[in-house]
Amino acid sequence: MKVFLYCLIPILLFYCSSHADQPSKRTESKTDNVVNAEEVLSSLAKRAISDISKIEFDSTKIPRTVEGGKLKGTPSKSWTSGFYPGLLWQLYDFTNEAALKNAAIKWSMVVEKEKMDNGTHDLGFKIYCPFGNAYKITKEEKYKEVFLSAASTLSTRYNQNVAAIRSWDFNKDVWQYPVIIDNMMNLEMLFEATKLTGDSSFHYIANQHASTTLKNHFRKDNSSYHVVDYNPNTGEVNNKHTHQGFNHESAWSRGQAWGLYGFTVAYRYTNDKKYLQQARKIADFIFTNENLPSDMVPYWDYNAPNIPDEPRDVSAAAITASGLYELATHDTSSADKYHNWANKILQSLSSKKYKCSTPPFFLQHSVGSVPGEFEVDAPIIYADYYYVEALLRQSKI
């Protein structure tokens, strides 16, 4: 018996010592896969401060993308005009650096007049990104008044027959009353307007729009069409398109990201579980998709014909990561899963592969529109905006 024990002791010691190392290795591996968000944000803020002096202030050239190796700006009329000032506000909130605040104010004022533009659905992007952030950070009433005015303007595009806000006014020979999945991103401003004013009409419009989008935009696999066209008189669906994707039945990657983020926000304000359930379903569609690369930065369309030789869309990844961090706060039972996916995305976006050195952009390899043949494999400002937002959200976990 003693001989048996003497023989067994070395085996037991080896087993225990070898297995004792395993938990610490798993912990190190998990830690290594999480970006130090505060460290990255500090670096980005320094970059942004340095870049401010390198960019000519021109009210007609708000930073949007890079073309021919040079910064390409856009007028305030563009749907992307609010992202650069919004980005500066986010970085100011993190650093409290006066240079960032001053630049944020200057560029925001360029966009302010768009609060009265009733010819677009993109007032959330244009106005709420800069002025919503400005109000949250400073609590100055003047900023709140700007996006409340924009909320009133946006409400004029609502059609009770369709129970949704009209998106585009162009291509009237193609569609009568188009509603795009992107429009889910403009609802936050309306929900917030009711929260701040008590006027329930804003919440009603936003909730109706979200409900109509949920009803008509999604396929059985929970991927989304880009455009649903309605009869404005009856509310009946005329057709379903994917304007910026590979074809009408494909899953345009940024569209899936807009949906995940948008329905998460809709749940935040309504507590309606159907919105939370849809956000979960979209997340599962994305992260179980066989065409999602291992670094979790998707191709511009999940059904693009030449995968893996197709452009990636960093903007879709950044939007998705930010949405996942909020989704984790509402769906706590799956929080670890959402955090792991989002952390992996941030790890990838923070790597050398996706970094951009052209001022004032942080990331490269985004896609505006492959069918439209513009901003393909380029830095685009909204990718940076949601990248910074995702880092801020990760830093607060």
| Total-model pTM | 0.92
Q: Mark residue 286 as left, alpha or beta (left: phi above 0; alpha: psi -120 to 50; beta: remaining).
A: alpha
In sequence order, which ranges of 81-197 are alpha helices (DSSP H)? 83-95, 98-111, 123, 133-138, 141-155, 187-197
- Residue 367 bridge partners (DSSP): 376
- Average pLDDT in the 242-247 region? 96
Kindly tell me the sign of the dihedral angle through the C-alpha atoms of 60, 93, 323, 303. Answer: positive
Class of domain 36-395: mainly alpha
- Alpha-carbon gap, residue 21 to 179, rounded angstroms: 55
Active-site positions? Answer: 122, 182
In the block, residue with structure tokens 């935009």:
217
Q: Please state at what angle helix 200-216 crosses helix 141-155, rounded to 10 degrees.
A: 50
Each residue's pLDDT tens digit, 95-123? 999 999 999 999 999 999 999 999 999 99
Compute the mean pLDDT over every residue in the chain, rounded to the nearest whole number: 93
| Residue ranges of domains in the chain | 36-395
Q: How confident is the model at residue 27 (pLDDT cuts 50, 70, 90)?
A: very low
Each residue's pLDDT tens digit, 295-314? 999 999 999 999 999 999 99
